[in-house]
Amino acid sequence: MSANCVVVGAGPVGLVGALALARRGVAVTVVEAEGMGRMRPGSRAIGLFAPTVRRFDAVLPGLGEAVAAAGIRVRGYDAYYGERRVFGYRSRRGVLGRVMPSELLGVSLPQTVTENHLYEACVAHGVRFRWASPLMRLSSNPDGVEIELETGDTLSAAYVIGADGARSRVRDEIGATLRGTPDDTRFVIVDVADHPDGTTPHMPGFFQYNCPRLGGRNVMHMPFQGGMRIDLQCLPGDDADYWSGLDGIRRWTAEIVDPWYGEHVTWVSSYRFHQSVADTYTDPHRRVLLAGEAAHLFAPWGGRGLNSGVFDATDAATAIAHALRTPDPHRARRAIERVACHRRAWGIRNRDLSSRALRIMRAAEPTTLRVRDRAARLAPVCWPAGAWLANAPLQMAPPPVGLRGLY
């Protein structure tokens, strides 16, 4: 069996890459290690920013709009320093109470919902799927790629997009290596159900530095369609098992949200920051491109994993479609090299921004702590100071001047 292109991994990054190829007339097969209907627990990849939604629409008109309609539109964000509110933002509403598209901060929804929209679009455009087919071996040559699956089947492809996640077999097979180390700071993620009073979907994003009721720990929460995610940043020496246990969760969540949420936990995870980028996004023969967590691992703050992964995969699809059209193998090779270098540069940029966020949040250096404290004192009279504190965990562009915070 052969195809112009094989995509390894049926997560949102792999699916959008496959769809982008199919929309360009490329025959595509998606290979996924797990079975169809696999479980996807937890609030992974819940945040889609406006550029990502627009990229969905660029791949397939109306797709971004459909995904956005399935989620909660993030309309506001509050930041506190201790008990002092240092920043607040709410998007304005247009006709009939609608949020103006240019003012949306993003969309929040479970990864499974995004995947369902992408999968249906892929099927409608002729993408074929091989479920429960783990990759066993991959080898590239100047003319293409040979793929051996654990099912015993062999596939041939002109090009491959490796979107098979943090433990990427594709990355290993092309000899690429993630460069970076996990940070020692531990975080606890708690997913909770929607409150029965209907308020959860309307809660703004929230971040608090040095919460006095939690011994100076940083906390955040963000609603998504169907629930809310709450994060706690542990202090050095904390027992992460306690803070991620039900007794600990009931204690600390009750200090920042309604105690009801602590009794309605749907998922818990404890994690450390990973700040890593592959040393190359392509193979020596320029027949394979990495995308998403196969290419990079970032801290979940700021949603850089999925959002940058969508651009990795769709840019890879554009380059592959161009390479397939050109009869000149040198030009085809350069097209792959260019996108690999371009996306890796973005990976390094996102890694550096994510690392900066952690430095500000943790404030282990005295200079950073002094800057943070000064910004908090200035926030009531100086909007940029509050905006800087609010933006530190995200490292994104602030809202337009006309839509600035409450201070």
Q: Which two tokens stand for residue 381?
A: 């009279």
Crossing angle for the helix pair 12-23 and 304-325, to the nearest 10 degrees: 30
**Residue 314 identity (one-letter amino acid):** T
Give the pLDDT confidence of 129-187 residue by residue, as tens digits: 999 999 999 999 999 999 999 999 999 999 999 999 999 999 999 999 999 877 778 89
Q: Which domains does the chain have, with CATH numbers?
A: 4-71+109-177+279-361 (3.50.50.60), 76-105+185-274+371-398 (3.30.9)
Measured in Å, how far apart are the chain's first and last C-alpha atoms?
A: 62
Q: Which two tokens stand for residue 383?
A: 């909007």
The number of beta carbons lying within 10 Å of the beta carbon of residue 241 is 10
Give the pLDDT confidence of 269-318 residue by residue, as tens digits: 988 777 899 999 999 999 999 999 999 998 776 678 899 999 999 999 99
Average pLDDT, stretch 19-41? 92
SS3 340: helix
Q: How far apart are CA 342 and CA 346, in angstroms?
A: 7
Dihedral of alpha carbons 74, 109, 276, 187, sign = positive
Q: Give the per-residue pLDDT at 403.
A: 36
SS3 39: coil
Rg of the chain's alpha carbons, rounded to an integer? 22
Q: Which of 284, 199, 269, 286 is nearest to 234 (CA)?
A: 269
Q: Cβ neighbours of residue 315 under 8 Å, at least 6 residues apart? A: 339, 342, 343
Q: How far apart are CA 107 and CA 127, in angstroms?
A: 26
Give the pLDDT confidence of 364-401 residue by residue, as tens digits: 899 999 999 999 999 999 999 999 999 888 776 554 44
* pLDDT grade for 104, boundaries at 50, 70 and 90: low
Q: Give the per-residue pLDDT at 92.
A: 60
Question: Rounded to two decimals, what is the model's pTM?
Answer: 0.91
Q: Give the per-residue pLDDT at 94.
A: 37
The number of beta carbons lying within 10 Å of the beta carbon of residue 267 is 14
Q: Give the per-residue pLDDT at 406.
A: 33
Asked whether residue 351 carries a pLDDT value surpassing 80, the answer given is yes
**Residue 387 identity (one-letter amino acid):** A
**Residue 400 identity (one-letter amino acid):** P
Average pLDDT, stretch 310-331? 97
Q: Give the per-residue pLDDT at 38.
A: 79
**DSSP assignment string, 54-97:** HHHHHHSTTHHHHHHHTSEEE-EEEEEETTEEEEEEE--B-GGG
Across the chain, what does the average pLDDT equal? 90
* pLDDT grade for 3, boundaries at 50, 70 and 90: low
Strand residue runs (E) in 142-264 = 144-149, 154-162, 178-179, 182-193, 205-211, 217-224, 227-233
Q: Please name the residue that has the structure tokens 């530095």.
A: 209
Q: Which two tokens stand for residue 10?
A: 């049926």
* pLDDT grade for 99, boundaries at 50, 70 and 90: very low
Q: Give the per-residue pLDDT at 401.
A: 41
Q: Residue 282 has what DSSP assignment? A: B
